[in-house]
A and B are shown apart, each in its own frame.
Chain A
Amino acid sequence: MLDLIWLVPALPLAGATVNLFLLGPSRPGRRLGRNGGWLATALVGLAFAVSVGALLDLLAIGAEERVHVTRLFEWITAGSFSVDVAFRVDPLSITMALVVTGVGALIHLYAIGYMEHDPRIGTFFAYLNLFVAFMLVLVLADNYLLLFVGWEGVGLCSYLLIGFWYDRPTASSAAKKAFVTTRIGDAAMLLGIVLIFVHLGSLDFDAVFGEAAGGLTQGAATAISLLLLAGAIGKSAQLPLHVWLPDAMEGPTPVSALIHAATMVTAGVYLVVRSHVLFELSGTALTVVLVVGLVSALYAALASIGQFDIKRALAYSTMSQIGFMFFAAGMGFYTGAMLLLVCHAFYKALLFLTAGNVLHGMDDETDMRRMGGLRVDMPVSTVWFAIGALSLAGIPPLAGFFAKDQIVSFASTSDRDLAWVLATIGAFLSALYIARPLFLTFFGRRRNDSHAHEAPGLMQTPLAVLALLVVAGGLVLGLTAEGGRLAVFLEPVVGAVEHGGGALSEGTLIGFSVAIAVAAVLVAYWVWASGRVNWQAFPERQPELAGWLANAFYLNALYAWLVQFPGKGFGRALRVVDERVIDGAVNGVADEVGDASRLAPTIQRGFVRSYALAFLLGAVALLLFLGLRIV
Chain B
Amino acid sequence: MTTPISYFLVVSAMLFSIGTIGVLVRKNALIIFMSVELQLNAVNLALVAFSRMHNELDGQVLAFFSMVVAAAEVVVGLAIIVTVYRRRRSASVDDLTVLRG
Contacts and interface: CB of A to CB of B under 8 A. Distances in A.
B97 A605 contact: yes
Contacts of A601: 101
A267 to B, nearest CB: 75
A609 interface: yes
A616 B24 contact: yes
A613 B24 CA distance: 6
A386 to B, nearest CB: 96
B19 to A, nearest CB: 11
Contact of B96 (A602, A604, A606, A616): A606
A479 to B, nearest CB: 101
Contact of A609 (B93, B99, B101): B93
Contacts of B93: 608-609
Contact of A603 (B25, B32, B101): B101
A608 B33 CA distance: 13
Nearest to B27: A609
Q: For chain A, give the interface size range.
A: 10 to 19
Task: Provide the main secondary structure of the chain A interface.
Answer: helix
Q: For chain B, give the interface size range.
A: 10 to 19
A605 B24 contact: no
B60 interface: no
A615 to B, nearest CB: 9
B24 A606 contact: no
A604 B94 contact: no
Nearest to B101: A601
Interface in A599-631: 600-609, 612-613, 616
Contacts, number: 35
Contacts of B25: 609
A601 B25 CA distance: 24
B94 A608 contact: yes
B98 A606 contact: yes
B20 A605 contact: no
A606 B97 CA distance: 4
B42 to A, nearest CB: 14
B24 A600 contact: no
B97 to A, nearest CB: 3
Interface of A: 600-609, 612-613, 616
30 contacts: A600-B101, A601-B101, A602-B101, A603-B101, A604-B99, A604-B100, A604-B101, A605-B100, A605-B101, A606-B96, A606-B97, A606-B98, A606-B99, A606-B101, A607-B94, A607-B97, A607-B100, A608-B93, A608-B94, A608-B96, A609-B23, A609-B24, A609-B25, A609-B27, A609-B94, A612-B23, A613-B24, A616-B20, A616-B23, A616-B24
Query: What 10 A-B pairs have minimum CB-CB distances, sorted nearest first?
Result: A601-B101, A606-B100, A606-B97, A604-B101, A608-B93, A605-B100, A612-B23, A606-B99, A604-B100, A612-B24
Interface of B: 20, 23-25, 27, 32, 93-94, 96-101
Given A603-B101, A605-B97, A613-B24, 18 more contacts: A600-B101, A602-B101, A604-B99, A605-B101, A606-B98, A606-B99, A606-B100, A607-B94, A607-B97, A609-B24, A609-B27, A609-B93, A609-B94, A612-B24, A612-B32, A616-B20, A616-B23, A616-B24
